[in-house]
Each structure stands twice: as C-alpha cells, then as structure tokens.
Structure 1
Amino acid sequence: MSDLEAEKALAAARAVDEVQNGMVVGLGTGSTANYAVRYLADRIANGLRITAVATSRMTEVLARKLAIPLTSMEGLSSIDLTIDGADEIDQRLQAIKGGGGALLRERVIAAASARVIAVVDSSKFVTRLGRFPLPVEAFPFATKFVGARLADLGGPVTLRMKDGHPFLTDQGNHILDVSLGSIADSQQTALAISDIPGVAEHGLFLSEIDTVVLAHGGMVELRHAERF
C-alpha cells in the first residue's frame, strides 16, 4: 500500500469511529470513501446497527456486496451523518468534489445530513481551491451552451469521456471539467456557474462540510468548520 493509500485508509477508519447505533449514514463516492464503506461493514459485522444511503450506484454495489443495510434517498428527509471524500479541501473546509461524477447526489445527501465528514489524504489539502479541475454537471441538451458559458470564466473546459463516449452520471447527465487554476473568489464562482441555464450541479462545496479528517503520515487531524 502506498503512503497516500495508507493515509486514505487511516482517515476513513477515524471517520467511521463517529458512527453510532441507530444512525442513518450517507456513504460517499470515491477511493477514500470506499475505505470508509469497508470499515463500516466491519463494524456492522461486529454488531453495529445502522441504515445507509449511497451517493452513487457504484457505492451501492460495494455496500450491498459488503452486506450494509441500504435504503433509498427517495424515502428520507434527513440523514444523521455522511462520510465522503473530496478532490480538494482548504483550511475553511471549502471543497471541490465530483471527480467520481456523483456530485448531484453528493450535494443532495450532504444537504440532508446533520453532519458531513470529509475524509482526505495529505495531497488533497490546499491553501486555495482550483488545482483540481472543477466538475460541472450539465443536462445533455445544453452541454455545448453550458461549455461555452463556462469558458467565459477563464479556463479550458473539457467534456468528460468514457470509452469514447461522453461520461454519463447516474442521472444521465454530462460532466464538464473546468480548469480554472487558483479560484480567487469561490463564492462568486459558484454563483456564476449556478446562474448558467442547463447546469444541474457544480462541484464547489463551500458550506456543506462540518469536519475534515486529514491524514498525513501516520497521524490523523480533525478540523471543524467555524460557523458564524
């Protein structure tokens, strides 16, 4: 296991310690979140009683394989705790998410959660967001238009592809990855993208994350958002 993989596993294990009996737990998407799903399955095998809801079909498949009890978001109005990864996160716990293409479900489940924990390795912690391309989910009929409007923000826009075809999200939408570089004003950028007709969701998560579990080396640090 590489150093970064070891950090992912360490952060995920610490986050899963926060899960308590009777909780409804949101399961994130991505390589670090997968570690959390596996550790949660271990705790369930040892007697933990929870119900889970997944942010993607990929995570659903893993959870079912590991015998984690699942429910549908359609039947829920609130979630106790969600554990998810992030592609980047800064000291204010603002993040870029969506590298796995699940940003719309991730947004909904985060909004429904009383608490959101992000689990990250040391490579994901940044002083300013923007090194990682910003994913934007667009309705397919509006992809070309949305791409042109996103280009006006000042960075190259790339349609995400898979096997020679546009990548499709679980909702059947396209992903446009916008390489903005260092984002000086994340709030203004989020508003500008949300105002583009045809955008289903974007990957700037600026107020959803309550706690980050950051692993560096063999150590784990918890940082909590300051709410004003």
Structure 2
Amino acid sequence: MPAELSPIDKAKFAAARRAVDFVEDGMKVGLGTGSTAAWMVRCLGERVREEGLRIVGVPTSSRTADLARQIGISVVGLDEAKWLDLTIDGADEFDAQLQLIKGGGGALLQEKIVATASDRMIVITDASKEVVNLGAFPLPVEVVPFGWQTTRALIEEMLIATDVLGRQTTLRLNGTQPYITDEGNYIVDLHLNRIGNARALAVALNQIPGVVENGLFIDICDMVIIGGAEGQVELRDINAGTIAHERIDFADDENIFADLD
C-alpha cells in the first residue's frame, strides 16, 4: 500500500477490503457512492480481474458507474437486475442501532432505492462516523426544483415541532449554482445538530409535498464494518447481535492503486 495514503484512507481501505469478501460468484451487487465506496469498487474490481469473480454491479450514481466500468465491473441498471443480493455503501453517520445518515455525496435517492432492493446492506466506514445521536452531519433532503423554496419553508415549519437541536436549512450549491442530483433535483441540507427521533423525522419529511427523499436510512443496514488505519476491522451484525474484530493484511500489491494515477 502506498505510504502516502492518509490514516483515514487506510481505514476506509481496510473496511472496503473486508467488505468485498462477502461478495460471491454470481451475485448482483449494489455499488455505493462516495470516497469509502470508491475504495470498495476498486477492491471488487481487483477480485474481478485477479480471481475471475463473475458479478453484476448496480451503481448508485453516474460517478460510481463510470468507475466500475473503468476497472472492469459489469454494470446494469436496477430495472434490469430487479433484485440484489447485497449492497455495499458508505455512510456519513451511524449510531448503535445502525441507523444512518447518507447523502453527503448527493446520491441519497439512488442509494436508498438500491439498498432497499437488496437482501442485505453492508456499510463500510471509519470510527469517526459513529455517533450517539444522529444529526451532527447535515441531513440531506432531496427536493424537486419546482417550488423548492416553498418546500424548504414547509420543512422549516415542520421542524418547529420536532425533537431536534437546530433548525437551520441551506440549499446545497455547486459553486454559485444549486447542486443538481442525477435525477435533476436539488438538495436542502438540514443542520439539526441532534435528532431525537430519526424514525419519526424520516416519516414527517417524506409527507411534505416537494420532498423526494431524505438521507435517514432506518432499518436498512444489516452490518457495519469499521476500518482502522493499522488494518484492524470491526464487524457489527445487527441481525445476529454479534461484534467481531479482525485484521486486514496490507499487502504490497499495488494493482488496486494503478487506476489512481
């Protein structure tokens, strides 16, 4: 592994490397979006190239689709795949119940659709993403552009009666213009600081006209793999109620990093 990788990237790599061990020949696999998920796609591509692993990937964004094709993973859409064996993705936050905040990369809608169309979801992350209460990371809410300011005002009104610590909302920008999702929508980020009842908030948000989806992933994740900079990994299985500790050997194999050049 190149020495110039930061400790956080080594932690992400360790989690990603362990997660792809759960992928078996013939599987249909949801491919997440974001920096940690990118490591997973590279690790999976290495298995495809070196082991002849036969899989079909369903990407959760155009960025992930481009990367998967670049490294030799067969890519199809969800309508073609229909149902998936496994989705592997990152998260912006997770708590002890493996409830998540996702969408920092702007792909929350496709990520949630793909994850819920899977038998199992594994989240790969580092220890910094674990929180006692969700909400320190801004909660993304995807909204349609038409009347988005009205939708934002309705969200702010709803938050008054919600168990949160903050109620500031901001339109996500790309430079000076609104950030546009793959579906052509906007994202409003909610700066809540702490979410008292994530399940109730997720339901309330999706009842507001103009809201397409929110970044709270409730009862979707089955396992979290937490990577460390020295190759240590912790596997938490919410269904089995187990926690396992392992170590990944950072081999001197540079193949996975060739595409970084």
**What TM-score, normalized to structure 2?**
0.85
Report 1:196-211 matches (<5 A).
196-211=208-223
Report the CA distance between 1:72 and its aligned residue.
1.1
Write out per-residue CA displacement over residues 77-116 of structure 1, whole angstroms, 9 at most, x where no aligned residue. 2000110000000110000000011111011101110010
**Pairing partner for 1:67 from 51, 67, 72:** 72
Report 1:10-29 matches (<5 A).
10-29=14-33
Instruction: Give the number of equivalent residue pairs.
Output: 228
- The residue number in structure 2 matching 1:111 is 116
4+ residue stretches of structure 1 with deviation over 6 A? none
Corresponding position: 1:222 with 2:235: yes
**Pairing partner for 1:7 from 6, 11, 31:** 11
Distance 1:111 1:101 in 2: 18
Distance 1:212 1:140 in 2: 34
Give the RMSD, CA atoms, in angstroms: 1.3
Identity among equivalent pairs (%): 47
Report 1:47-126 matches (<5 A).
47-126=52-131
Is 1:55–1:102's contact at 8 Å kept on the other side of the alignment?
yes
One-letter amino acid of the structure 1 residue matched with residue 215 of structure 2 = G
Corresponding position: 1:164 with 2:169: no
Is 2:14–2:228's contact at 8 Å kept on the other side of the alignment?
no
Report the CA distance between 1:76 and its aligned residue.
2.5
Write out per-residue CA displacement over residues 40-62 of structure 1, whole angstroms, 9 at most, x where no aligned residue. 00000011110111000010011
- The residue number in structure 2 matching 1:151 is 156
Q: Gaps (5+ residues) in structure 2?
A: 161-166, 241-261
Distance 1:144 1:73 in 2: 31
Is 1:120–1:213's contact at 8 Å kept on the other side of the alignment?
yes
**What TM-score, normalized to structure 1?**
0.97
One-letter amino acid of the structure 2 residue matched with residue 225 of structure 1 = I
Larger radius of gyration: 2
Is 2:28–2:81's contact at 8 Å kept on the other side of the alignment?
no
Is 2:30–2:86's contact at 8 Å kept on the other side of the alignment?
yes
Q: Secondary structure at the match of 1:25?
A: strand
- The residue number in structure 2 matching 1:127 is 132
- The residue number in structure 1 matching 2:254 is none
Distance 1:20 1:107 in 2: 22
Moved more, 145-154 or 128-137: 145-154
Q: Secondary structure at the match of 1:178?
A: strand
Moved more, 127-136 or 148-157: 148-157
**Pairing partner for 2:45 from 27, 41, 48:** 41
Distance 2:190 2:154 in 1: 11
Is 1:4–1:122's contact at 8 Å kept on the other side of the alignment?
no
Is 1:12–1:39's contact at 8 Å kept on the other side of the alignment?
yes
Distance 1:127 1:217 in 2: 22
One-letter amino acid of the structure 2 residue matched with residue 39 of structure 1 = C
Write out per-residue CA displacement over residues 173-204 of structure 1, whole angstroms, 9 at most, x where no aligned residue. 00000001110111111111111111000000
Write out per-residue CA displacement over residues 156-177 of structure 1, whole angstroms, 9 at most, x where no aligned residue. 1100000211000000000000
Report the CA distance between 1:143 and its aligned residue.
1.1
Distance 2:31 2:239 in 1: 24
- The residue number in structure 1 matching 2:163 is none
Q: Secondary structure at the match of 2:22?
A: coil
Is 1:116–1:211's contact at 8 Å kept on the other side of the alignment?
yes
